[in-house]
């Protein structure tokens, strides 16, 4: 594992984590590890009735992501770079917003055991966007299970994420404001983001690009 460089991309729903991870996989010849959110049988029910299905949803994600993270240790030696569209801690951030006190206590007791065996990223890329931009992107991609997501929920996630990364010191962190760029459809935007990612990162760096559209 010493020869492996592990980059995790994070951000709120709709910010473009998976899209950027897939683009970096192509451009940088990386191994892609994607979150399997569509395998969670409770997810659509959660967005319809959060209070009833929050704990089942979070526990399924926690165990699923743990199993996938263990597979990172088995990646063949020919891959020098791994790109993931999530961090393991993501589940805890969602749980802190979605679970009540008793549920969170039980969740926390399980999560602490699993977190001891997680491979930490060498670099985290945190994609930021305003709530209004995120809602536009969520509506535009029109995933059926996301149709009941409210602006209030996205705003709450935005606050949780910003607070977490404001204090983040576990590894180098690159924060990219995506409000005014479209790296999926604009080649120049993508090239600018990749150029910045290739630069050495120590501590926390901020990147606030503007689209040329």
Task: Give, for 207, the enclosing helix (H) or strand (E).
Answer: strand 204-207
| CA atoms of 83 and 123, how far apart (whole Å) | 10
User: DSSP state, 167?
Assistant: S
pLDDT at 132: 95
Q: What is the pLDDT of residues 150-163, one digit of tens each?
A: 999 999 999 999 99
- Return the bridge partners of 81, or none: 5
pLDDT at 190: 92
Q: Average pLDDT per run of 10 along the chain, which is 213 residues long?
A: 74 94 91 88 90 94 90 66 91 93 95 89 94 93 84 95 94 94 92 88 87 53
pLDDT at 38: 84
| CA atoms of 55 and 63, how far apart (whole Å) | 12
Which domains occur in the chain, in start order? 5-207 (3.40.50.300)
Q: Is 52 left (phi over 0), alpha (psi -120 to 50) or beta?
A: alpha
Show the beta-strand stretches assigned E in 78-203: 81-84, 123-128, 173-177
Residue in 18, 22, 49 with CA at minimum distance from that of residue 35:
18
| pTM beyond 0.85, yes or no | yes
């Amino acid at each position: 594992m010493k020869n492996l460089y592990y980059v995790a991309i994070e951000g709120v729903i709709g910010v473009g984590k998976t899209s950027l991870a897939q683009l970096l996989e192509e451009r940088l010849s990386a191994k892609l590890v994607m979150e399997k959110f569509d395998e969670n049988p409770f997810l659509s029910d959660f967005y319809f009735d959060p209070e009833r299905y929050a704990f089942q949803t979070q526990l399924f994600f926690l165990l699923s992501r743990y199993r996938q993270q263990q597979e990172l240790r088995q990646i063949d030696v020919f891959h020098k770079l791994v790109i993931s569209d999530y961090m393991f801690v993501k589940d805890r951030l969602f749980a802190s917003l979605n679970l009540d006190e008793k549920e969170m206590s039980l969740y926390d007791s399980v999560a602490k055991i699993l977190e001891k065996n997680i491979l930490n990223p060498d670099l985290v890329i945190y994609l930021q966007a305003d709530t209004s931009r995120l809602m536009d992107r969520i509506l535009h991609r029109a995933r059926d299970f996301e149709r009941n997501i409210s602006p209030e929920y996205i705003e709450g996630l935005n606050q949780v994420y910003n607070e977490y990364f404001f204090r983040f010191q576990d590894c180098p962190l690159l924060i990219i404001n995506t409000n005014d760029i479209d790296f999926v459809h604009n080649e120049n935007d993508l090239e600018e983001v990749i150029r910045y990612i290739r630069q050495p990162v120590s501590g926390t760096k901020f990147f606030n690009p503007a689209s040329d559209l």
